[in-house]
Amino acid sequence: MEDFPLIRSEFRAWADARNKQIEEFNVNRINTYGPLGKQLDLLWHDIDSGLIPGKGGLFHAYIEEVKNLVTKPDFDIKEYQDYDFSQHEFVEDLD
């Protein structure tokens, strides 16, 4: 895990900003994908035409477009969410 502030108020602001980035990423990605029915229809057409498995089909192109439009934050989301911050001592500056 990259360096993070050890002063509790700064850590909270840092963590809040990261959590906001993750939430915005998740919401934007879900909204950009569009309806599940559309995604499944594209997948069905790819399977029906013999394009699956492999790249080059409508489903793959659609999902790839969403992934390019809604990029992940510049940090490892899983590492951040799984990290045990309790192993660090923070400087208490909050009442």
Q: Which domain holds residue 35?
A: 9-80
pLDDT tens readout for residues 51-76: 887 778 888 889 889 989 999 999 99
3-state secondary structure the chain: CCCCCCEHHHHHHHHHHHHHHHHHHHHHHHHHHCCHHHHHHHHHHHHHCCCCCCCCCHHHHHHHHHHHHCCCCCCCHHHHHHCCHHHCCCECCCC
Please check whether residue 87 lies inside any domain of the structure. Answer: no
Please check whether residue 37 lies inside any domain of the structure. Answer: yes
Please check whether residue 88 lies inside any domain of the structure. Answer: no
Q: Per-10-residue mean pLDDT for the chain, 95 residues long?
A: 89 96 96 92 88 83 90 93 93 81
In the chain, the number of structural domains is: 1
User: For residue 59, what pLDDT is reported?
Assistant: 86
Please check whether residue 85 lies inside any domain of the structure. Answer: no
Please check whether residue 24 lies inside any domain of the structure. Answer: yes
User: For residue 60, what pLDDT is reported?
Assistant: 87
User: For residue 76, what pLDDT is reported?
Assistant: 93
Please check whether residue 16 lies inside any domain of the structure. Answer: yes
User: For residue 4, what pLDDT is reported?
Assistant: 93
User: For residue 95, what pLDDT is reported?
Assistant: 66
